[in-house]
C-alpha cells in the first residue's frame, strides 16, 4: 500500500521549526491506523484508497488532540514541552483523520475542545473493537429504504445506521443496502405508481439480499429503517415478511437513529372495537397524529370505525424498540377481532411513525389473510384521504 507521507522515527524537538514540536514515531502511527481501521474518526471516510483514481493509498493523517508543541491548537498554560513530548506517542491522544477534518479541528480549536475530541476518539475505537469481536449472531444486514421526497430534508446515511447498529452490539454484514425510490411522475401517486413502487422495493431488496446470501427468514438478521410515505412503508413490511429476523430502527429529528429513552415503558395503546353491523369497517390508527372521524367518513360513508391510538398522539412516542413491539401486539389483537367479524375488506387509515407502518405490513404476511384497502393523504387533493391500493392474501410477499 502506497504511503502518502514519510513517518518520522524519533521523538525529539523539530529543530527546523524552532517551536519545540515533537514527532510521533512510525510504529505508533501504524498502531493508530490499525486501531482506527483505516477510517477517519470524525467523518468515517475510508483512508486506504483514493477513489478518484481507484488506487490504494494511505492518505490519512495522524492528528494530535493535545498538540505536539506547547503552542499548538488546544494548548493551555499547563501544556509545556514535557507534556507535549509525553503525549506525542500516547495513542489516547492521537486520532486518525482525513486532511479535511484535520484542518478543520485545528483551525477551530474552540469548536473542537480536548474533552469532545477525546470522547469521540474513545467512542470510535470502542465501535471498532466491538465490530471486530462480535460473533455471527451479532451481525445484521443493514437496510435503508427512503422515498425520494425525503432525501434532502432528512436523509439517512449508511454511516448513521452503522453507528446505530454498533451502539446495540450489531455489526453490518457486508455493505449496508440503501434503496432510494423514484418520485411520482406527472400523474401523481396513481395505481401505476404504486405498482412500480411495489416492484421496485421487491426487486431491489431480493437482489441485494441474494448478493449477501440472506433470504427473508434466514440469518443474518435485517436491521431496518425506513423513511417514506405510509403505503410504501407498508409494502416494505410485506416484502420483508413477518417471519424475518429483523431489528427495527426509528429516525427522529432530535435523536437521529438513537433511542431517546431505552428504559421507558411502552405507551398505553387504546383499542376501540365498533358495534356489529353490515356497514364497512374502517381501521383508524392514530399514533403520530389524530385522524378525525370526519376525514374517514368522507371517503367511506357510514363506516363502523375501529381505532388504535394513544392518549396524546405524537411522533415522539417512540422512546425505544419496546414501543414498537407493544404496538404490534395491540394491533394484532384488534386486527384479529375485526377480521373475524366481517369477510369484507377493511379500510385502513394510519398516522404512525415509519417503523410502526413497516411492522403493520409485516404483520399482514402471516395470520392476517384478509383484504385491506390502504388510504393515504394526497397533497394534490387538498390533503384528503385517497385510496392507494388494496392488499389481498395473494399479494403477500
The three cell numbers of residue 71 are 503552542
CA 319, CA 360: separation in Å to the nearest integer? 18
**pLDDT of amino acid 149:** 62
**pLDDT of amino acid 50:** 76
DSSP 84-115: HHHHTT-GGGEEEE-HHHHHHHHHTTTTS-HH
**pLDDT of amino acid 341:** 92
CA 199, CA 191: separation in Å to the nearest integer? 12
Q: Identify which of 374, 358, 393 has the alpha carbon closest to the alpha carbon of residue 146.
A: 358
Contact 252, 316 (CB under 8 A): yes
Q: In angstroms, what CA-CA distances link 55 with 2, 39, 50, 175, 328?
A: 9, 16, 5, 20, 49
Convert 69-96 to b/e letters by CB count within 10 Å (16 or more is b): bbebbbbeeebeeeebbebbbebebbbb
Burial of 117 (0-12, 13-18, 19+ CB in 10 A): buried
Q: Which residues is 391 bridged to in the sheet?
A: 372
Q: In angstroms, what CA-CA distances link 396 with 367, 385, 389?
A: 11, 24, 13
Q: Count other C-beta atoms under 10 Å from residue 152's C-beta.
A: 7
DSSP H/E element including 55: strand 55-58
Here the contacts of 103-108 (C-beta below 8 Å, separation 24 or greater) are 105/42, 105/63, 105/73, 106/63, 106/72, 106/73, 107/73
CA 65, CA 124: separation in Å to the nearest integer? 14
Tens digit of pLDDT at every position of the chain (397 positions): 333 443 433 344 444 344 456 789 999 999 999 999 999 998 888 899 876 666 788 899 999 999 888 888 888 888 888 888 888 999 999 999 999 999 999 999 888 899 889 988 988 888 787 667 655 557 888 999 998 764 445 789 888 898 888 888 788 887 889 998 888 877 778 888 888 888 888 888 888 877 776 554 455 789 999 999 999 999 999 888 876 788 999 998 888 898 999 889 999 999 999 999 999 999 999 999 999 999 999 999 999 999 999 999 998 889 999 999 999 999 999 999 999 999 999 999 999 999 999 999 998 887 667 899 999 998 888 889 999 999 887 565 4
Q: Identify which of 272, 269, 270, 273 has the alpha carbon closest to the alpha carbon of residue 340.
A: 273
Contact 54, 36 (CB under 8 A): no
Convert 32-47 to b/e letters by CB count within 10 Å (16 or more is b): bbebbbebbbbebbeb
End-to-end CA distance of the chain: 46
CA 22, CA 83: separation in Å to the nearest integer? 10
Sequence-distant (6+) residues with CB within 8 A of 152 are none
CA 282, CA 296: separation in Å to the nearest integer? 8
**pLDDT of amino acid 73:** 85
Q: What are phi and psi of 80, to 5 degrees?
A: -95, -170
Contact 101, 43 (CB under 8 A): yes
**pLDDT of amino acid 147:** 86
CA 120, CA 240: separation in Å to the nearest integer? 35
Burial of 98 (0-12, 13-18, 19+ CB in 10 A): buried
Q: Count other C-beta atoms under 10 Å from residue 388's C-beta.
A: 24
**pLDDT of amino acid 9:** 36
**pLDDT of amino acid 31:** 95
**pLDDT of amino acid 392:** 83
Amino acid at each position: 500500500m502506497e504511503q502518502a507521507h514519510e513517518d518520522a522515527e524519533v521523538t525529539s524537538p523539530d529543530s527546523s521549526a524552532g517551536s519545540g514540536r515533537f514527532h510521533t514515531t512510525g510504529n505508533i502511527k501504524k498502531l493508530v491506523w490499525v486501531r482506527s481501521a483505516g477510517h477517519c474518526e470524525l467523518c468515517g471516510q475510508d483512508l486506504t484508497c483514493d477513489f478518484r483514481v481507484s488506487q490504494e493509498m494511505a492518505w490519512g493523517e495522524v492528528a494530535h488532540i493535545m498538540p505536539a508543541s506547547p503552542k499548538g491548537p488546544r494548548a493551555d498554560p499547563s501544556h509545556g514541552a514535557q507534556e507535549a513530548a509525553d503525549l506525542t506517542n500516547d495513542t489516547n491522544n492521537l486520532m486518525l483523520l482525513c486532511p479535511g477534518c484535520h484542518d478543520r479541528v485545528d483551525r477551530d480549536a474552540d469548536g473542537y475542545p480536548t474533552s469532545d475530541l477525546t470522547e469521540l476518539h474513545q467512542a470510535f475505537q470502542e465501535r471498532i473493537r466491538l465490530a471486530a469481536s462480535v460473533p455471527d449472531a451479532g451481525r445484521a444486514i443493514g437496510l435503508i429504504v427512503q422515498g425520494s421526497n425525503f432525501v434532502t430534508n432528512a436523509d439517512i446515511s449508511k454511516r448513521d445506521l452503522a453507528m446505530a447498529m454498533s451502539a446495540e452490539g450489531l455489526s453490518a454484514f457486508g455493505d449496508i443496502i440503501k434503496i432510494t425510490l423514484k418520485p411520482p411522475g406527472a400523474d401523481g401517486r396513481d395505481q401505476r405508481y404504486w405498482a412500480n413502487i411495489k416492484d421496485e422495493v421487491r426487486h431491489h431488496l431480493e437482489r441485494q439480499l441474494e448478493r449477501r446470501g440472506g433470504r427473508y427468514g434466514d440469518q443474518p438478521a435485517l436491521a431496518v429503517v425506513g423513511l417514506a410515505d405510509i403505503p410504501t412503508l407498508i409494502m416494505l413490511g410485506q416484502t420483508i415478511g413477518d417471519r424475518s429476523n429483523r431489528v427495527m430502527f426509528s429516525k427522529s429529528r432530535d435523536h437521529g437513529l438513537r433511542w431517546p429513552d431505552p428504559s421507558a415503558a411502552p405507551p398505553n395503546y387504546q383499542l376501540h372495537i365498533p358495534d356489529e353491523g353490515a356497514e364497512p369497517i374502517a381501521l383508524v390508527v392514530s399514533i403520530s397524529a389524530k385522524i378525525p372521524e370526519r376525514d374517514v367518513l368522507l371517503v367511506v360513508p357510514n363506516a363502523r370505525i375501529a381505532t388504535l391510538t394513544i392518549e396524546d398522539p405524537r411522533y415522539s412516542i417512540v422512546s425505544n424498540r419496546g414501543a414498537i413491539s407493544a404496538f404490534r401486539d395491540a394491533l394484532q389483537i384488534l386486527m384479529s377481532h375485526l377480521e373475524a367479524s366481517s369477510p369484507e375488506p377493511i379500510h385502513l387509515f394510519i398516522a404512525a411513525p415509519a417503523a410502526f407502518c413497516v411492522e403493520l405490513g409485516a404483520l399482514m404476511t402471516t395470520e392476517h389473510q384478509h383484504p385491506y384497502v390502504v388510504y393515504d393523504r394526497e397533497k394534490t387533493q387538498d390533503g384528503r384521504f385517497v385510496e392507494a391500493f388494496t392488499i389481498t392474501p395473494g399479494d403477500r410477499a
